[in-house]
């Protein structure tokens, strides 16, 4: 009887006369399946249309998430919702890790780093996100968050992780101009609450951008599912420290079942389904191709917000959004001009691939999470 393959190792077909032959070890640098063989089995390469469909579904879920979260935040206090969402996401990924037989062991030094990174990438990020979205609109929130790759580029340059050139500096300047158009008050019609929400959303994006820069080396050599699970566990504890009072005074019975259903879908779809779809697609195409789909999020969020919530973004917001998109495009141009490899762990393409992934996810540009 053949011995079972290790989790995460693709099985190799055994021909006649070779009973129990061990699976072949893939050549160094060869692409491997993202999901464990116990889940995927052997399958032919996916068609381009299937990959595009998966990526569009991922971005559609994240675009829907802005409007869904805005509705949830009308019924559940922001800090209570942040505590519930991060804790539920951690529990789901802990269960998945156990189901897939993933080891969650890290060196003590790496665990300390993950705890520090969780403060930026989970706790501050999520608290500022929900507090900001509670005060501002889904359109503003999605446009501001679309600048995360440019913010990552800015932090990388400031911390001397990357060298500055004219394309990178231009990308930063154009995106900053776009954000200022979206955020700065345009008259008496702009409420102080919305302005505060935009500033909190900027803090949310900045904390995640800094998280991506500082954590890149550790996450690039870690199993993404294991690292994401540990990050969420640390992040859940950190969010609960500030969210416990709101959670204690919150009455779950006062929330309609439809809101709880929406909350559950946010956790399951925007955490679990998108995680696997994103990594499945990234095992088959370059991260620069995945990066292009980030534009779908704010467009869909703005369209849904107009239909469901009656939001009507003005010309200034639309112009700011166009500048944000232009800045992201310039960042990708700088990435290509610098000669980045398609699956490099730095650069705008890899960053965009990472922020297309779910809450607290790690380096999506890595093709084999089992290494």
pLDDT in tens, 224-243: 889 989 999 999 999 999 99
Contact 140, 201 (CB under 8 A): yes
Averaged pLDDT for residues 99-103: 91
Output the pLDDT for position 221: 87
Residue 280: which domain range? Answer: 45-355
Site of tokens 């232009």: 326
Any domain includes 92? yes
For residue 336, CA distances in Å to 118, 143, 194 come to 30, 24, 37
Any domain includes 108? yes
Any domain includes 19? no
**Which secondary-structure segment (H or E) carries 25?**
none
CB atoms inside a 10 Å sphere around CB 13 = 9
Q: Is pLDDT of 29 > 70?
A: no
Contact 187, 169 (CB under 8 A): no
Q: Is pLDDT of 247 > 90?
A: yes
Task: Name the nearest CA neighbour of 270 among 61, 55, 129, 56.
Answer: 61
Averaged pLDDT for residues 11-40: 46
Task: Name the nearest CA neighbour of 223 among 98, 102, 113.
Answer: 102
Any domain includes 26? no
Any domain includes 315? yes
CB atoms inside a 10 Å sphere around CB 49 = 8
Averaged pLDDT for residues 163-182: 86
Distance CA 61, CA 77 (A): 22
pTM of structure: 0.76
Averaged pLDDT for residues 155-184: 86
Distance CA 370, CA 163 (A): 31
Output the pLDDT for position 335: 62
Tens of pLDDT, residue by residue over 282-318, are 777 776 677 667 778 888 888 888 888 888 888 888 8
Instruction: State how many domains the chain has.
Output: 1
- Which residues have CB under 8 Å from 327's CB, separation 6+? 147, 150, 171, 172, 173, 174, 175, 176, 177, 178
Any domain includes 61? yes
Task: Name the nearest CA neighbour of 210 among 293, 128, 88.
Answer: 128
């Amino acid at each position: 009887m053949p011995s079972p393959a290790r989790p995460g190792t693709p099985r190799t077909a055994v021909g006649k006369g070779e009973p129990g032959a061990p699976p072949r070890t893939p050549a160094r640098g060869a692409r491997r399946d993202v999901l464990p063989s116990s889940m995927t089995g052997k399958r032919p390469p996916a068609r381009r249309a299937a990959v595009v469909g998966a990526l569009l579904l991922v971005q559609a879920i994240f675009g829907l998430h802005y409007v869904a979260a805005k509705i949830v935040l009308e019924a559940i206090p922001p800090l209570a919702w942040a505590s519930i969402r991060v804790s539920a996401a951690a529990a789901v990924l802990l269960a998945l890790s156990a189901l897939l037989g993933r080891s969650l062991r890290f060196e003590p030094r790496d665990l300390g780093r993950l705890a520090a990174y969780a403060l930026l990438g989970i706790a501050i990020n999520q608290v500022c996100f929900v507090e900001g979205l509670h005060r501002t609109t889904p359109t503003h929130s999605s446009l501001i968050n679309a600048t995360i790759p440019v913010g990552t580029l800015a932090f990388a340059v400031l911390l001397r992780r990357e060298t500055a050139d004219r394309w990178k500096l231009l990308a930063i300047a154009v995106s900053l101009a776009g954000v200022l158009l979206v955020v700065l008050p345009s008259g008496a019609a702009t409420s102080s609450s919305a302005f505060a929400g935009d500033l909190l959303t900027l803090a949310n994006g900045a904390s995640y951008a800094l998280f991506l820069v500082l954590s890149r080396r550790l996450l690039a050599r870690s199993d993404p599912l294991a690292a994401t699970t540990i990050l969420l566990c640390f992040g859940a504890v950190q969010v609960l420290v500030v969210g416990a009072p709101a959670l204690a005074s919150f009455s779950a019975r006062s929330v309609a079942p439809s809101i709880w259903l929406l909350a559950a879908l946010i956790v399951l779809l925007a955490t679990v389904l998108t995680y696997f779809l994103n990594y499945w697609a990234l095992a088959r195409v370059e991260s620069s191709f995945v990066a292009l789909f980030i534009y779908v999020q704010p467009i869909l969020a703005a369209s849904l917000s107009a239909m469901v919530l009656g939001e009507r973004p003005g010309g200034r917001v639309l112009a700011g959004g166009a500048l944000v998109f232009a800045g992201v495009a310039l960042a990708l141009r700088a990435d290509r001009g610098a000669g980045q490899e398609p699956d490099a762990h730095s650069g705008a393409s890899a960053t965009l691939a990472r922020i297309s992934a779910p809450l607290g996810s790690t380096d999506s540009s890595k093709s084999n999470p089992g290494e």
